[in-house]
C-alpha cells in the first residue's frame, strides 16, 4: 500500500508541475499572438490554436492534483447532517461516483479520440486526436489523486473516531 501511495504521489506531483508548465506555455503563446497581431500586423494564427490545445491539456492534467488537494467544489451538506460514524460512507460513495465518472471520461474520451484521428487541425497540420486524447489521459492521471484523497479521508476518519471514543 505504501508503494502505491508513493507512486500516486509522484504522479500527482508530476502532473501538477506539467499543468503549471502548460499554463506558462499558453501564456507565452498568447503573448506571441498579441505581438504578431498588433505590433507586426501579421498574426501568427497557429499560436492561438496551439494555445487552446495547451490550455485543454493543462485543464485535464490539473484534475488529479485538484482532487488530491481538495480544490474541487465540496458538497458537505449531506455529510454534515449525518453522525460522525456514518460520514465515512458518504465519502466512500462520493469517491466511487467520481471514480465512475473518471472511467466514463476514459472510455468515451478514448472512443472520441479514435473517431477524430483522421481530422486535421487547420493551422497546425496535426490530428485533432491530440486535443481529444487529453480527456482520457487526464482522467487516468486523476485516478491517483482520487485514491490519495480517499486514503487521507479514511485515515482522517479513523483518527477522528479514535479521538472521539
- 26-47: per-residue pLDDT in tens? 999 999 999 999 988 888 889 9
- pTM for the whole structure: 0.85
The predicted pLDDT at position 72 comes to 81
Read off the pLDDT of residues 3-25 as tens digits, 9 standing for 90 and up.
Answer: 989 999 999 999 999 999 999 99
How many residues comprise the chain? Answer: 165
> Helix (H, G, I), strand (E, B), or coil: what is residue 120?
strand
Are 32 and 44 in contact by the 8 Å Cβ rule? The answer is yes
Residue 162 has pLDDT above 50, yes or no: no
Find residue 120's DSSP bridge partners.
127
Statement: residue 1 has pLDDT above 60: yes
pLDDT at 49 over 80: yes
- Asked if 78 and 90 count as a contact pair (C-beta separation under 8 A), the reply is yes
Amino acid at each position: 500500500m505504501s508503494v502505491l501511495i508513493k507512486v500516486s504521489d509522484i504522479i500527482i506531483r508530476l502532473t501538477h508541475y506539467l499543468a503549471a508548465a502548460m499554463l506558462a506555455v499558453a501564456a507565452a503563446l498568447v503573448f506571441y499572438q498579441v505581438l504578431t497581431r498588433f505590433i507586426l500586423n501579421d498574426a501568427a494564427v497557429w499560436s492561438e490554436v496551439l494555445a487552446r490545445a495547451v490550455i485543454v491539456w493543462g485543464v485535464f492534467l490539473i484534475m488529479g492534483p485538484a482532487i488530491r488537494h481538495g480544490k474541487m467544489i465540496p458538497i458537505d451538506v449531506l455529510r454534515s447532517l449525518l453522525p460522525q460514524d456514518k460520514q465515512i460512507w458518504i465519502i466512500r460513495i462520493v469517491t466511487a461516483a467520481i471514480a465512475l465518472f473518471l472511467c466514463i471520461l476514459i472510455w468515451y474520451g478514448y472512443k472520441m479520440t479514435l473517431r477524430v484521428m483522421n481530422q486535421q487541425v487547420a493551422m497546425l497540420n496535426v490530428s485533432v486526436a491530440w486535443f481529444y486524447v487529453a480527456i482520457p489521459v487526464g482522467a487516468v492521471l486523476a485516478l491517483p489523486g482520487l485514491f490519495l484523497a480517499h486514503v487521507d479521508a479514511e485515515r482522517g476518519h479513523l483518527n477522528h473516531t479514535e479521538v472521539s471514543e
